[in-house]
Every structure is written in structure tokens, then in C-alpha cells.
Structure 1
Amino acid sequence: MVLLREGMCPGLDRELLRGLRGADIRTVEGLVSSDIEELAQKCSVSYKALFAIRRVLLAQHAAFPVSGADLYEELLSSTAILSTGNPSLDKLLDSGVYTGEITELSGGPGSGKSQVCFGLAVNISHHLKQSVIYIDTTGGMTASRLLQMLQTETSNTQEQMEALQRIHVFRLFDVHALLDCLYDLCGGGLQRASVGGGSVKAVVVDSVSAVISPLLGGKQNEGMSLMIQVAAVLKTMAKDFSVAAVVTNHVTRSSGGEVQPALGASWSHIPRTRVLLQPAPSARPFSCCSLRSATLIKSSRQPCDIREDFDLQWWSRGEEGPSGKRKLDETHDESSLVL
């Protein structure tokens, strides 16, 4: 509630303020929602003067509606769709990960979360010639693995090195260091990383739960506050700088024994898209099979609970995919690489 004060806008003087209070109008909300003609008679002021004051107060304190057409135009001008480099995952994600949003990959150990993040980073840096911020909180990121994946994309050593230079890696192992890094990126770090290497199109946090989960539960109220801060800065970064924020998350068991993403109900509202990675149903237990199943558990574009199986070795193939039938470039269409 905003109280009316003398001088808030031209014409709102002490005398008029006294008259409005006599009519039991003490707030901006009360004034703009009242019948102006009736109120003018009660306060003995001109209708035109009171209408002008109401209009100014509306402009200062009320949110004006935006048309659906304007929102759609903003979406078209600011959103890019970044392919993961894997056609099955792109199909599940409606062509790839979207800038301006947070996408979450959840799964247990060995489910392929990091492998998918590596593949996304390689695809953006090599094929799209854009930069990626990769925040590693588990120590699982290795330059040799990135190079191995790049070597399947090109045999040109210079192209491999240029792609590696566009992947900026931060190794951080606690939530305070993560927050400091994210705030620095918003304060100019994204622009600095873009110099000479294409603009930053994705920020990957692998994994967000590794630094937040130890602080949750029991009487550790600080953990929830820090988690909300991480969520807020990721959302702001994604929206304001048109980058895709991609985070990985661990899994837990529900009371019914079902596998679900960690970090609880509060975090579940943060990502726009959530994907659960698990061993494919066809994979034998405890085997070294690289087949994985990706299930869409939250999305604003696709039906939930749809599933796609994919092979983690897709990013380690040679000239042809694991099936030996087609090259990666043949799987790309105009909808999977929108920049």
C-alpha cells in the first residue's frame, strides 16, 4: 500500500490531500480505484484535475499490461536454441536447450549428466563458434575429455584449440565461491569471456546439488537461503544476458520409492525444464552399457513423461554415429541451431 503524500505529483497539494482524506482516500490504490467523478464532487475539485492526477499516479505505480504479440516478438528476438549435439536429446528438449531459461539434468552417479554437459559445451564451442562458461563443482571436468570429444568432430588441430579456448572452466567447491563467481559473471565476467571468442551462450553448473545439498536439512536455515540466492542469480543471468543456464542435480528416493531430483520442492520450481537421466531399460544391471534413458519430467513446451533413449558414446563416435549410418551434420536441421 502506497500512502498519498503532498507533492507526489503535480496538483497533489496539501488542500487536495486534506479533501481526499476527508473522503477516506489515503492511498494511491484507493485513489486510482475510486469513481473519479464522485470523488471530485466530494473534494470540491475539478474532474479534469483529479483525472490528471490519477493518470500520473497510475503511470508511476501501476504495471501496464503487455500484449501476447509483444511477448512473442521479444521471445523471437532474444531466444536461441542450442543443440546438445545429440539428436535424441534435442528431440526430447524440443530442438535443444533454450537461452533465457534454466535447464536441469538430474540423475544418479554414472547416469551421464556430465557427459551431456561436455557434449553441449563442445557443440556450442565448435559448431556454433560461441563461448561457454563451465562451472565444475565436483572435479569431474578434464581438458583431455573435451579434446577427445573435439577430435571426433574435427581433425584440424587449430580448430580443436580454438574450440577449447571458447570453453571457460571454473573449479569451485563451495556455494559461497559459486555465488561469487555467478555475481562476477553478471557484473562483467560474461562480457570479458566473450572477447575474441564469440558471445557466451551457455553457463553450465555441474553440479549445483554438490555444493547445496550438504547445507540443507536439520536446523541449517542458511542452506535454503543460499539455494534461493543461487536460483535468483541464475534466473537473472539467463534472462538479462540471453544465455542458457544448465545445471546438474543428484537424485533421491520419494516416500514411495520413486527416483526424483534432489534439493526438494522449493528448488523444483526453479528450472523451466527438468530431465531425468537413468540407465536405459534395455541395459543390463551393473553392465558397462552406454545406453541411457532421458525422461522429461517438467517442460513448458513438451508433454511431460515422454522418454528418449540415447547412447553416451554418441559424442565419442568417429565420422559416423554409433549405428554407422549417418554423420552428425546430417542430423541437424534449421530448428536445432537457432542463433
Structure 2
Amino acid sequence: MVLLREGLCPGLSEDLIKALREGDVRTVEDLVLSDPEHLAQKCSVSYKALVAVRRVLLAQHTAFPVSGADLYDELLSSTSILSTGIGSVDKLLDSGLYTGEITELCGGPGTGKTQTCFSVAVHVAHELKQKVMYVDTNGGICANRLLQILQQKTANTAEQMNALQRIDVLRVFDVFTLLSCLQNLRASSLQRGSVGVGGSVKAVIVDSVSAVLSHMLGGKQNEGMSLMMQVATELKIIAKDFNVAVLVTNHVTRDRNNQLKAGLGQTWSHVPRTRILLQRTEQPGASSSFRTATLLKSSRRPCYLMEEFDLSPQPQEESRPRFAGKRKLDTDS
């Protein structure tokens, strides 16, 4: 799904794009599937110009076969691995978050989902000097906590402020605003690359997807399912087309055997490439800040591996690994 933007093809001017948007035509797919004569009348634009643009876009975006070898070469050249800033979680993820993929953290309230998102945002912004788009859907973002994590990494105030400036926060509280936010994100910030002092966008975090989707699912609410898949499509495009690591959080429910499972149902389960379940550590004498992370879904490592980590702020993480990772961390930007 490619958004219409100026410069995409000859004849596609800003005025034409604005007129098409008023007619609810935002993507190449919307344009090529519409009736050009009806659309020209509806948007008060030139029929001849519209047909010309439509023909060029059809030629540009028609699918052509690509060999498996070419796809593999593209994967090797474009994939980066971003550390979460938490060693134990990186081990489960086979070194960290992979660009081009969606990774999900699921868990109940207070299990550390948001804190882990903070850690990722700070690590990418400070250590890798890259920008982070943090989409907050439940009001959980806390600047003081971000600063706290940064202070454990550097005492330099200027470095702390520079890192915070690389974290762009977008607050949304319903699925329609979320969709609009994701579409605008790839139409503006990601299309331009946002290269400069702030670096380029390497991570997009949505905390959480379930906060705006769960109440719309169930029963005969077909619209909710459709909106959920639209969100999934936008996230996949952002991850794949712009070489970005996408991290989302999700709630949990219980199955018939009273076992925890990720929310949003079976359809959503195919969206994330990797899924981790976060839980509080229930061992006697364990610190209240300790959490367990269990790998529920992965294409790289065996499922149900488990690690423990400490959420409390400290200069060096005191983790108690149960399984070791097998690949050296790649911090290529």
C-alpha cells in the first residue's frame, strides 16, 4: 500500500493529491481501483491528467518476479539488529530487535511491557544515535522514567537531552487516530528518511495495540476485525519497506486450561514475527522488580526459552540467564 505523494510520478502535483484526498483517495491502490471519470467529477480535477497519472502508477507498481537469491541478498544488506538495552531479552530475541519485522511483548498489567519499551527507545536514541517513533495509546509514556534510564548510561546532560530529542512521542487514544498516525508517519517522516542531527528512524514502538483494538473485537463486530488488519498492514509496511524495527505491546487472556495467551485472537497471532510473554517473578525471596521473559513465537530460536531480568534502574543489569544467545549483537545503523 503506497501513499500518494508529490514526486511519486510525473503529473502528481500537491494540488492534485489534495483534491484526491478530499475524495478519500489516499493510496495508489485507491486511485487505480477507482473509476477515473467518476473520480474526476467528484474531485473536480482534469480527467485527462488523472488518466495519465493512473497509467504511470500502474506501470510503476505492477508486480515483477524477483528471484529468491535477490531477495536473500536484499535481506542481508538491509537487516540491522537493535539491542533492547536488556541483555536477557536480547538473548531471547537472538541478539535484539530485527529491522523489517514486528516484535510483540505481551503480558498483564505491571509485567514490564512499557518499561521494556522505554529501554528500547533510550538505547536506540542514545547508543545508536537513531530516531524512535513512540506511539503511546494508553498514556503510559513518562519523560522522567526515560531520563532515569538515560542517567544510568551517561552523566553528560547534553547527551541526555540529545537522546530525548531523538524520541518522538505521538499520543493516540482510538484506532482511527492510530491508523491516521501510521499513514502520516510513512508518508512524511519515513519517506524523507529524517536524516540529519537526529539520525534516521530505526524503531517504531506502539504501546499498546490492544488498548485501541480489544474493545472492538468479539461477537459480530466485523468492523473491528477489519480495522485490526488495517493496523497490521500499516505496521508491516513500515517495518519492511522502510527497514524499521517495529515493537508492539499486547495484553493477555487465559485459555480453557487457564494458561496465559496473547490477546487479540488467532488472526492477530500471525502478525508479529516474534512474541515474548512477560511475567512477574514468583520465586520466594525474589525482588519485586524481577521479571521473567518467555519466548512464545520465533523463527530463529526454540520456543519457551526463558530469561529473568531486573526492571529496577541500575548502572549494570543484574540478570540471571537460563539460556545463552548464540549471535554477537549487531548495532549497525
Whichever residue aligns with residue 338 of structure 1, its letter is D
Contact 1:138–1:173 under 8 Å retained in 2: yes
Compute the displacement of 1:70 (Å).
Answer: 2.5
Whichever residue aligns with residue 225 of structure 1, its letter is S
Query: Which deviates more, 173-182 or 72-81?
Result: 72-81
The aligned runs of 1:201-280 (5 Å cut-off) are: 201-280=202-281
Compute the displacement of 1:73 (Å).
Answer: 1.4
1:335 aligns with 2:329: yes
1:153 aligns with 2:153: yes
Compute the displacement of 1:196 (Å).
Answer: 2.8
1:177 aligns with 2:174: no
Query: d(CA) in 2 for partners of 1:322 and 1:302?
Result: 23
Query: d(CA) in 2 for partners of 1:83 and 1:105?
Result: 15
Q: Which has the higher helix share?
A: 1
Give the 3-state SS of the residue equivalent to 1:335 in structure 2: coil
Q: Which residue of 1 aligns with 2:128?
A: 128
Query: d(CA) in 2 for partners of 1:129 and 1:111?
Result: 28
Judging changes above 3 Å, is the alpha-carbon distance between structure 1 residues 93 and 62 closer, same or farther for their aligned structure 2 residues? closer
The aligned runs of 1:14-25 (5 Å cut-off) are: none
Q: Which residue of 1 aligns with 2:288?
A: 289
Q: Which residue of 1 aligns with 2:297?
A: 298
Q: Deviations over 1:287-334 (max 9, x none)?
A: 861111111111111111111111112xx113x3447xxxxxxx9x95
Judging changes above 3 Å, is the alpha-carbon distance between structure 1 residues 230 and 263 closer, same or farther for their aligned structure 2 residues? same
The aligned runs of 1:47-196 (5 Å cut-off) are: 64=65, 66-67=67-68, 69-190=69-190, 191=192, 193-196=194-197
When the two structures are superposed, what TM-score results if normalisation uses the length of structure 1? 0.74
Give the 3-state SS of the residue equivalent to 1:123 in structure 2: helix
Q: Which residue of 1 aligns with 2:200?
A: 199
Query: Which deviates more, 231-240 or 212-221?
Result: 212-221
Contact 1:277–1:294 under 8 Å retained in 2: yes
Judging changes above 3 Å, is the alpha-carbon distance between structure 1 residues 249 and 62 closer, same or farther for their aligned structure 2 residues? closer
Compute the displacement of 1:194 (Å).
Answer: 4.2
Query: d(CA) in 1 for partners of 2:273 and 2:150?
Result: 29
Query: d(CA) in 1 for partners of 2:132 and 2:113?
Result: 17
Judging changes above 3 Å, is the alpha-carbon distance between structure 1 residues 72 and 156 closer, same or farther for their aligned structure 2 residues? same
Q: Which residue of 1 aligns with 2:6?
A: none
Q: Percent identity?
A: 58
Judging changes above 3 Å, is the alpha-carbon distance between structure 1 residues 65 and 168 closer, same or farther for their aligned structure 2 residues? closer
Contact 1:281–1:293 under 8 Å retained in 2: no
Contact 1:283–1:291 under 8 Å retained in 2: no
Compute the displacement of 1:271 (Å).
Answer: 0.3
Contact 1:131–1:194 under 8 Å retained in 2: no
Compute the displacement of 1:195 (Å).
Answer: 4.3
Give the 3-state SS of the residue equivalent to 1:72 in structure 2: helix
Contact 2:193–2:201 under 8 Å retained in 1: no
Contact 1:134–1:204 under 8 Å retained in 2: yes
Judging changes above 3 Å, is the alpha-carbon distance between structure 1 residues 283 and 185 closer, same or farther for their aligned structure 2 residues? farther
Whichever residue aligns with residue 291 of structure 1, its letter is F
Whichever residue aligns with residue 84 of structure 2, its letter is T
Compute the displacement of 1:203 (Å).
Answer: 0.3
Number of residue pairs the alignment of both structures matches:
266
Contact 1:115–1:312 under 8 Å retained in 2: yes
Compute the displacement of 1:87 (Å).
Answer: 1.1
Give the 3-state SS of the residue equivalent to 2:109 in structure 1: coil
Q: Deviations over 1:8-65 (max 9, x none)?
A: xxxxxxxxxxxxxxxxxxxxxxxxxxxxxxxxxxxxxxxxxxxxxxxxxxxxx99645
Structure ID, larger Rg: 1
Contact 2:309–2:317 under 8 Å retained in 1: no
Compute the displacement of 1:219 (Å).
Answer: 2.4
When the two structures are superposed, what TM-score results if normalisation uses the length of structure 2? 0.76
Query: d(CA) in 2 for partners of 1:283 and 1:115?
Result: 23
Aligned equivalent of 2:314, options 317, 328, 338: 317
Computed over aligned residues only, the root mean square deviation of the Cα atoms, in angstroms, reads 2.1
Query: d(CA) in 2 for partners of 1:88 and 1:192?
Result: 31
Query: d(CA) in 2 for partners of 1:217 and 1:242?
Result: 33
Query: Which deviates more, 190-199 or 273-282?
Result: 190-199
Query: d(CA) in 2 for partners of 1:123 and 1:252?
Result: 30
Contact 2:292–2:307 under 8 Å retained in 1: yes
